[in-house]
Structure 1
Amino acid sequence: MARPTPELIESLRRTAHKLKAGSPYQWGHMGGCNCGNLAQELTKLTRDDIHRYAMQRYGDWNEQVEDYCSTSRLPIDLIISEMLTAGLTIEDLKHLERLDDQSVLNRLPIEERFLKHNVRDDVVRYMTEWADMLEEQLLKRIVLPLPLEAAYV
């Protein structure tokens, strides 16, 4: 599961917001699909640049992350490296492309868990719920020190 970082949480929320507001979405486009839209936010590359870089190797996002090599220096691997540095895992990217991470889906009401991987509103719902889940995990890790006077009561 993703490492909950403020950058990742904010990127998921910004991506969901942009998609909801009508940002280009095309599941079959490597720069405009689920992972592609998040990659735009994390890398600041355009959808066309991401797509062009991905086309230097075969396959969709699932195949690209399966073949990921941190030392290849292929542009798509550099993009994936940046996404991993932001807190994602290879498995997270696979789940995002299919909207099928059970820990995210289980947070939704039962009747809303059957998301379609290529439907904009479902992508927005998934990313929003995922961001909420990561934020909750991050907040649980924060321990505030007691005020000095409370420590001696």
Structure 2
Amino acid sequence: MARPTPELIESLRRTARKLQHGSPYQWGHMGGCNCGNLAQELTKLTRDDIHRYAMQRYGDWNEQVEDYCPTSQLPIDLIINEMLNAGLTIEDLKHLEKLDDRDVLNRIPLSQRFLKHNVRNDVVLYMNVWADMLEEQLLKRIKLPVLDVVEMA
């Protein structure tokens, strides 16, 4: 599961918000799909740049991350590397593209849980629930110091 960081959580929420408000979404487009939209947010590349870089190698996001090589210097591997550096894992990217991470899905009410990987509103829901889950994990790790109460005379 992703390493919860404020930056990753905010990127997930910004991506979901942009999709909810009409940002281009096209599941068959490497820069406009689930991973592609998050990649835009994390890398600041355009959807067309991401798509063009991905087309230098074969396959969809699942195949791209399966063939990821951190030393290849292929543009798509540089994009994936940047996403991994943001706290994501290869498995997270596979799950995001299919909207099928069990931990995320289990937090969604059963009546809404059967998400379609290529439906904008389902992607928005998944990203928001995932961001909430990561935020809870992050907050559990924060330990505030116990302050000594000094009596005032």
TM-score class normalised by the smaller sequence: over 0.9
* Cα displacement string for residues 88-136 of structure 1 (whole angstroms, at most 9, x for unaligned residues): 0000000000000000000011111100000000000000000000000
Report the alpha carbon displacement of residue 149 of structure 1 after superposing the two structures with TM: 2.0
Aligned to 1:58: 58
CA distance in 2, matches of 1:125, 1:70: 31
Any stretches of 5+ residues in structure 1 without a counterpart? none
Aligned to 1:126: 126
Any stretches of 5+ residues in structure 2 without a counterpart? none
Aligned to 1:85: 85
TM norm structure 2: 0.97
TM norm structure 1: 0.97
CA distance in 2, matches of 1:74, 1:108: 37
Aligned to 1:2: 2
Aligned to 1:141: 141
1:32-111 aligned at under 5 Å gives the runs 32-111=32-111
CA distance in 2, matches of 1:30, 1:41: 14
Moved over 4 A (4+): none
Report the alpha carbon displacement of residue 148 of structure 1 after superposing the two structures with TM: 1.9
Partner SS, residue 28 of structure 1: coil
The residue identity in structure 1 corresponding to 2:13 is R
Aligned to 1:113: 113
* Cα displacement string for residues 62-109 of structure 1 (whole angstroms, at most 9, x for unaligned residues): 000000000000000000000000000000000000000000000011
Aligned to 1:20: 20
RMSD: 0.7
Aligned length: 150
The residue identity in structure 2 corresponding to 1:37 is N
